[in-house]
Structure 1
Amino acid sequence: MVKLTLRERETAQEAVRRFRKLVERSGIKKEIRVREFYEKPSETKRRARLRAQRRNRRERMLGRI
């Protein structure tokens, strides 16, 4: 949970800007995007496997240089 306490002499715009940064850093937006639609467990595993393959391919390509 993100909590924001207003500082002395802080404008509303500054507080909103700090709040947005806190939400982004906490990963809430990313989690909401992931949970927006149901994804079958097999699809989750498949996406993780493909992500790992891309990561390995990228590491191999960078290792050759």
Structure 2
Amino acid sequence: MVEIQVRDKESLERALRRFKKKWERAGILRELRGRSFYIKPSDEKREAKKKATRRMARNARIEALRNNPRGARRRRAKRPTDNRRSR
């Protein structure tokens, strides 16, 4: 449970703001939404794998940008095109 102590000469608005921030960091709302309906263990594992894959791809993109200071992506060479149309 999230608790805060109201400090001396602290306004109620300030205390509420601290409480709200602490409450969000604790992840209470996220947990409530997650428990609002039953999710099978196999589905939980599948979602966790998806999340991990996305996280790894994002981290790889970030690492690639760090290694390339200009931030430019490498482009593939264009394929030669045949301008003649066959009819």
TM-score (norm 2): 0.60
Letter in 2 for 1:54: R
Using the TM superposition, give the Cα deviation of residue 19 of structure 1 relative to its aligned residue in structure 2, in angstroms.
Answer: 0.5
Using the TM superposition, give the Cα deviation of residue 21 of structure 1 relative to its aligned residue in structure 2, in angstroms.
Answer: 0.7
Partner deviation per Cα, 1:27-49 (whole Å, 9 max, x = no partner): 22221121122111111011011
- Aligned-CA RMSD value: 1.9
Using the TM superposition, give the Cα deviation of residue 25 of structure 1 relative to its aligned residue in structure 2, in angstroms.
Answer: 1.5
- What is the identity percentage for the equivalent residue pairs of Structure 1 and Structure 2? 43
Correspondence list, 1:4-43, <5 A: 4-43=4-43
Segments of structure 2 that go 5 or more residues without pairing to the other structure are 66-87
Greater Cα radius of gyration, structure 1 or 2: 2
Corresponding position of 1:3: 3
Q: How many residues align?
A: 65
Segments of structure 1 that go 5 or more residues without pairing to the other structure are none
Displacement over 6 Å in runs of 4+? none
